[in-house]
Structure 1
């Protein structure tokens, strides 16, 4: 809106305006900065850049740089963030505008003349200002905070569509005004503002989805920790199954996405046990036929819970199928080998192995060698032989700490999961 307002102040044909025009552009830029839409990481995308780049074109480099300086100071006065960050912003805003302006006016001595050369120079100038701003601010803030440059750059990828739109918006609007005048510009402004409004709605929806996902993960981790209070084995077992599942998926040649999915499903595979009664959860209780029916429902209950919370769809399907068997005698749906999701087969192998080897199970723990022999014995009927052998290959050359994950840490595995989700969403 600030940019649209600034266009009404321009003299016809895009010629250099008087001092009052620069002042009006500065006021609009400051207002836009204060009311700007916030995005991820530590950046803002607002109409202010449009205003000072427009001033750079029609009133000269010094005018554009002065407005960029005013925008930085106004933002700092409102938010009162640390002085070091203000210095970074001044460098990141003013310097690229000065360089872009010098480049543009060297290439186009008379902006009012228009033409293909004008459009090309304008595009180059806007790219120099926008990309230069991002590079300088990203680099200096990462150095200031002691953060990883690579991770900071990856986190900023979500800004690229908005930056691309802003570059196209400024170039098309200014060029249309200079080339065709106000009548032709009106249509371009309306279309661009409509797209800007829709993009803002998309960003808001994405942020709400992110908040909901964080809430869901918080709730799920809380349920597992509560389950752990009822059965001290639960959280450690989930962490171990997650780690083994991810490693088996990698060993079998699956891609990064499938490995991450296996890790997630391993963490959550027993979430349905939360619905079991305390009597069933008590290891010293003699289970009745009805109790076994309840236990056999926990994959189904877990899948339903994950679907209700909106967790990624395939995870629910994997959790539901992790007690299915290749011979069709599993539960809850009696699926056969071809019908069972591959990652559910992996989770099944990881779960059985951990149950046999961990020190906190119902029985005396087996050695890794004994457990692998048992898995091979039931391969083809209860477990998938391909993934049994993948696990056996993993164990070759591994020490006791890996073969018997008695100290598997649910909090650590959950932190890995959060980092995976953060990387995927950025």
Structure 2
């Protein structure tokens, strides 16, 4: 039976396929985010605007954790920790045994991701002028992996496998950079007792890893404890997700990959539930009282320009320079117009940009800045998605063999004993 026939007869397999295939071969996650963003904007600007706001920002009548007093905080500090846990699993897999494990193979993605963060940040500071907007410098530095890969997936068999893989690895390195930025630049007051408690829990998880404990439940219980300690330490709680993921053993004693199976189990929940819920809770921007001048206000203009211009300028330039200098070759089989199109797609910030925006302007009196930032993120991401799609639609055309990067399933996606 051919791979195509198998995919048609077993649609569920596509959902629980390896994570790379989930994003590369299926545009549904990106399409879902587009629909969610549209629904959030519609809700925030409809007769149900008050209900939409009260749902996420209204104080809960009871909460087990006083610090998380509304649904929005539970989503951003709680659910998103699971999203970052999946990111951490993906990062560890790629660094240990994937595309980022080969020093030669990771040169170009690392250079591109670094330029794709620094140049947009510079563009942002140049246009915004800093001042009260300065803390938002990292907002246009992020790339939304699901959204970008979803747009790429809409092109079908037009984009070569090497270019898809390049976009994926750049986005993964970008995620690593975003996590570092959040930990270093968006941590406010630190509470020493909780920080040491978090370090103690982390030490236990590392010991379990060294002892090759390959049962699932100890890591989950300790990850929850780590999240609670980090939540109260002053460091953003989502960092606990990434750190906990790095302690998950790559392989079990029977040789099967514990990390990959956990990743494959959680990835659909992250892509099709957690990220859409986050998007719906955060993407709703009220346009009441806003005129066209709102789009050219310093903050939204700086963010949108950073995403649309800064990303493509930084990534394309460094790829061209690295290739010309012989330091790192461009993706094989990809033309320069195609590389340019992918560089544009990296300007889709959405999830990570909105998340960083909420950290950049956290105070109650900074709500207008948060809303303006969201407007710039949505505008920049929409332009990057549309422009990147058009450029690749007009320039990319390859055979099925050149575009087939998913290969056969390496193992049964429904193991009888995925995790003990």
TM-score (norm 1): 0.23
TM-score (norm 2): 0.23
Q: Which has the larger radius of gyration?
A: 1
